[in-house]
Each structure stands twice: as C-alpha cells, then as structure tokens.
Amino acid sequence: MIAVSVRVSLNYGEECIFDDFRLNLESGRLICLLGKSGSGKSTLLRFIAGLISSNFATGSATASDNSPLNGRIAWMAQQDLLLPWLKVIDNVMIGSLLRGENGKEQVDLARHLLAKVELNGADERYPHELSGGMRQRVALARTLIEDRPVNLLDEPFSGLDATTRYQLQDLACTMLSKRTTLLVTHDPLEAVRMADSIYVLSGRPATVAQRIDPPGSPPRQLSDVNVSIAYADLMNQLVHPESVGNVA
C-alpha cells in the first residue's frame, strides 16, 4: 500500500484555484474532499490523475515509495463512461483491451466482480439495456478490476436516486476498504458514511477549512447517532464557511 502526497498551484486564466495547496492521501484509508460545486475538488482529482496540462498547474503528486503514480491509479467518475457498443463484460475489461493485453484470463475475474456488485447474469447485456444504478455498478466493477493501489472517485454516485446511492455507497466502501482512496463529493452525508477522514474545501484559492474524522468505521449506517451529528456539523460548515476557523 502507498500513501500519496499532493502539492499543487493551479490557475485558470486570471483565476487562482489552488495556491500551494497540500493534501495527503494516507495509506489504505478513504479520504474525502467535501466542497460545493465549483470549489475545485474535481480539478484536484484530475491533477492527481495526471490529466491537467502543466500549462495550468505546477506541483506534484508523489507516491510514498517514490515510484511514479502513472499506471497505478483507478478512476471512477460521475458519468459511468460505459462504452455503449461493448457488452457489460467487455466494458468491465476495457482497461486490458485498451492496454492491448490478452483479456482472456480476466473474463473469470470480471464475472466474479460483476457478481460482487450484484449484477449476476448481466454479462452479455449492453449498457443501454441497464438502469442508471446498474450502469454505475458496472463502472464500479471496472474500477475494481484495475486493482490499483490508488483509487480516485469523482462524485461517483451523485447522479443516482437516493436508494441506489445508499446501496452503492455501502458496496463501494466494502470493496475499496484498505485501499488508498480519494473521494470527491458535494454530499455531506456521503462523506460521513464513506470516509475515514473528511476535508472541507472552501474559498478561492481553495483551502481546507477543517479535517473531521467521524467515529466508527465506514460504511456508517444512518441509525448511527454520530452520523447525524457529523452530518449536521458538515452541512453547517458548507452553508456558513466563514464561521469556521481556517486550520490549514
């Protein structure tokens, strides 16, 4: 397992999104970056994934073992990004197809993971035959089959209905436990349910207002009193960011 330390300054035009912003992804833990839309959290994720041109950003995302992060990241986005012309099973194995590997050995693993995300028997179906929740389950299986030490989740469940979102949060937490994961979300409840540690992002340039480590271990259930307390606290911070001292 590896930890990742991120340090970034980023400008879009005249606007400074991050000014020497620092974040540590702790080894084997799920870190959640919580912020309103437009707070720059997705941008940060894209920077770690190496998707932002050096024309806009300076800084680095380095792994604790000093090897490059390249090729050791799995990514899950808000859109399921399934390829509509490929069957579900091929969508799960798209990584190996894209790397030109022989996907044959992966078929069994792909079936196994599809069963794990509760999609038995959907292997031969096409994405357009599935519901939004099922499609995002396929996307989760596709993320898991990559089996990367670092996982980046960009609001992966925000497009789903409340029930499906709840189920998928449980599922993702279980499947990604003990992996270094960064979850970006604007949903305080999702943060409280899934994260080992939560950072609240606000301002421009963006800073971390506070770090919260909710008690108990994820996925936390709604029946847990601590969940509602932490939820209320986070919501308050998002609505009134000025009332909270800046600790970063």
Query: How many other C-beta atoms lie within 10 A of the C-beta of residue 205?
Result: 15
Q: Which is nearer to another protein, 71 or 121 (CB)?
A: 71
Can you point out the beta strands (E) in 103-221?
Answer: 150-154, 180-185, 197-202, 207-212
Place of tokens 């799995």: 74
Q: Which helix (H) or strand (E) holds 150?
A: strand 150-154
Which CB atom, from 51 or from 229, has the smaller least distance to another protein? 51
Task: Select from 3, 81, 244, 248 the one that contacts another protein (CB under 8 A).
Answer: 81
Tokens of 28: 């084997």
CA distance 10 to 48: 12
Please give the angle made by the CA atoms of 91, 96 and 97, to the nearest 5 degrees.
65
Among residues 62 and 167, whose Cβ is nearest to another protein? 62
The tokens describing 72, both together, are 């050791």
Number of residues that bind another protein (CB under 8 A): 26
**β-pair partners for 182:** 31, 152
Mark residues 134-163: x for contact with another protein by CB under 8 A, - for none.
------------x-----------------
> Among 2, 74, 168, 234, which residue sits at the site for another protein (rule: CB under 8 A)?
74
Considering only the stretches 35-43, 67-75, 213-221, 223-231, report the one whose residues sit in contact with another protein under the rule CB under 8 A. Answer: 67-75
Instruction: Give bridge partners of residue 33 from the DSSP assignment.
Output: 184, 199
Match 């409840």 to its residue by tokens.
189
Q: For another protein, which stretch binds (CB under 8 A), given 73-81, 184-192, 199-207, 218-226?
A: 73-81
CB nearer to another protein: give 74 or 141: 74
- Give the range of 79-87, 115-123, 163-171, 178-186 binding another protein by CB under 8 A: 79-87
Q: Residue numbers of the site for another protein (CB under 8 A)? A: 46, 49-51, 70-71, 73-75, 77, 79, 81, 83-86, 94-95, 97-100, 126-128, 146
